[in-house]
């Protein structure tokens, strides 16, 4: 897919791109919507086959962020930034990585509050410390030592855990005792989620590209470890994709041996229409932009709205209520849960939400949000 095709097929507001000759890194910031407030979305840093793929990732993820913020009732729009690295992150020197972060911070500063970022695949709270300092305050998710709320991973996992329980009730079983839960991806969110369902009495099945993570899950959680290529053929009660998106295609949906799908990965479906195939098989799908909203609630709640940790946790618990509304709407209208969630997000998108103040690029203090 060419860059021209990616942009021409995108329904967002604006895309910004750049290239750093010193490091060989490409940069993309996609702003999908600022209707509810400044666009917000994490910074993803990884290798891509080409910059067109990186830009496509940014545009798709930005759209998902618009839905995620709206359905969570947060006064932010949707955006995403993607850094296409010249080499795997673990092969970059610290000097190169620092340079990449500094260039990205300059990009954020140039947008002057139209877009705020946070951690995502390939970036951390410590990286947000650098971006926040160098951009003039347009990054959240900083470490506690730097004045931030710390990692959003625990609340993301919390939200997915809530989503799983809502989904299994919809599927007809009340708890996870003895149920097989397959967690794909054992990063900060995936491992936390695996630990939570293990504590519920579930039989954890897990996989990850990192052998050390798998061994830890086997040792600490009693997880059954499987190879990555066996994931979509392994029978389970709950499939929790917590790695990259696009896992569920129409072909996979027709044969996946699971009763529930609820995970932390963004854009789990290769296309919204794939949810129809899941619905035909009565597989309960918790749309990802609802299920994985805990991280956004944590970051926006703590750093934009001034919520306490307890208030954040209470709002994350609300993911279960939202999913109950989604399931009811899907039954009532005879549509997939993906379609129902988008309908509900649109309703909330159209409801008035007070926009937050954007931090001043020069002082970090509150300044009026940008007008449309």
Ranges of the chain whose pLDDT falls below 50: 354-372
User: What digits encode the pLDDT tens for the residues 158-211?
Assistant: 999 999 999 999 999 999 999 999 999 999 999 999 999 999 999 999 999 999
DSSP for residue 354: P
CATH of domain 153-350: 3.40.50.720
DSSP for residue 81: E
Any known ligand binding at 361? no
DSSP 4-48: HHHHHT--SSEEEEEEETTTTEEEEEEEEE-SSSSEE-PEEEE--
Provide the token pair at 310: 């307890």
Any known ligand binding at 185? yes
Give the pLDDT of residue 8: 81
Question: Rounded distance, CA 72 to CA 67, Å?
Answer: 8
Give the pLDDT of residue 257: 98
Closest CA to 242 of 169, 117, 157: 157
Quickly count: other Cβ atoms within 10 Å of residue 313's Cβ. Answer: 18
Cβ neighbours of residue 340 closer than 8 Å, sequence gap 6 or more:
326, 327, 329, 330, 333
Question: Rounded distance, CA 82 to CA 79, Å?
Answer: 10
Q: How many CA atoms lie within 13 A of 29 on its CB side?
A: 23
Q: Do domains 3-68+77-142 and 153-350 have the same CATH topology?
A: yes
Please state the length of the chain: 372
Closest CA to 170 of 266, 291, 256: 291
- Taken in order 268, 244, 143, 364, the sign of the CA dihedral is negative
Any known ligand binding at 108? no
Give the pLDDT of residue 75: 92
Question: Rounded distance, CA 259 to CA 168, Å?
Answer: 8
SS3 for 91? Answer: helix
Any known ligand binding at 329? no
Does this model's pTM top 0.95? My answer is no
Question: Rounded distance, CA 138 to CA 308, Å?
Answer: 21
Query: Which CATH architecture best describes the domain 3-68+77-142?
Result: 3-Layer(aba) Sandwich (3.40)
At how many degrees (to 10) do helices 153-171 and 188-199 cross?
A: 50
Provide the token pair at 235: 């029978």
Closest CA to 142 of 155, 128, 131: 128
Question: Rounded distance, CA 368 to CA 165, Å?
Answer: 40
Give the pLDDT of residue 351: 66
Specify whether the CB–CB gap between 323 and 166 falls below 8 A. Answer: yes
Q: At residue 278, what are phi and psi to the nearest 5 degrees?
A: -65, -45
Give the pLDDT of residue 142: 93
Any known ligand binding at 189? yes
Domain boundaries along the sequence of the chain? 3-68+77-142, 153-350
Cβ neighbours of residue 159 closer than 8 Å, sequence gap 6 or more:
291, 292, 293, 294, 295, 297, 316, 319
The CA distances from residue 191 to 95, 182, 206, 266, in Å, are 30, 12, 9, 17
235: alpha, beta or left? (left if phi > 0; alpha if psi -120 to 50): beta
Question: Which residues are identified as catalytic?
Answer: 80
Any known ligand binding at 148? no
């Amino acid at each position: 897919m060419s860059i021209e095709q990616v942009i021409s097929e995108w329904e967002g507001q604006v895309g910004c791109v750049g290239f750093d000759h010193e490091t060989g890194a490409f940069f993309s910031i996609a702003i999908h919507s600022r209707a509810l407030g400044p666009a917000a979305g994490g910074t993803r840093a990884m290798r891509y086959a080409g910059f067109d793929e990186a830009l496509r990732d940014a545009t798709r993820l930005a759209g998902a962020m618009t839905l995620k913020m709206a359905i969570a009732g947060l006064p932010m729009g949707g955006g995403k930034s993607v850094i296409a690295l010249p080499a795997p992150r673990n092969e970059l020197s610290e000097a190169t990585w620092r340079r990449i972060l500094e260039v990205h911070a300059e990009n954020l500063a140039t947008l002057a509050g139209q877009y705020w970022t946070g951690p995502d695949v390939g970036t951390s709270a410590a990286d947000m410390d650098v971006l926040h300092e160098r951009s003039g305050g347009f990054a959240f998710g900083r470490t506690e030592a730097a004045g931030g709320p710390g990692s959003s991973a625990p609340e993301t996992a919390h939200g997915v855990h809530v989503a799983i329980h809502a989904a299994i009730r919809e599927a007809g079983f009340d708890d996870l005792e003895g149920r097989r839960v397959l967690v794909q991806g054992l990063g900060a969110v995936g491992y936390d989620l695996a630990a939570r369902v293990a504590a519920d009495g579930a039989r954890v099945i897990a996989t990850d590209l990192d052998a050390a993570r798998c061994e830890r899950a086997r040792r600490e959680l009693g997880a059954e470890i499987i190879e990555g290529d066996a994931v979509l053929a392994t029978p389970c009660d709950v499939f929790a994709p917590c790695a990259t998106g696009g896992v569920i295609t129409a072909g996979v949906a027709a044969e996946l041996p699971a009763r529930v799908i609820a995970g932390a990965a963004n854009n789990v479906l290769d296309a919204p229409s794939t949810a129809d195939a899941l619905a035909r098989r009565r597989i309960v799908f918790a749309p990802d932009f609802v299920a994985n909203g805990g991280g956004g609630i944590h970051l926006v709640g703590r750093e934009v709205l001034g919520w306490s940790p307890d208030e954040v946790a209470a709002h994350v618990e609300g993911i279960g209520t939202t999913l109950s509304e989604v399931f009811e709407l899907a039954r009532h209208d005879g549509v997939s849960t993906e379609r129902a969630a988008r309908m509900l997000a649109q309703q909330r998108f159209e409801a008035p939400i007070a926009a937050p103040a954007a931090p001043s690029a020069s002082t970090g203090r509150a300044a009026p949000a940008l007008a449309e």
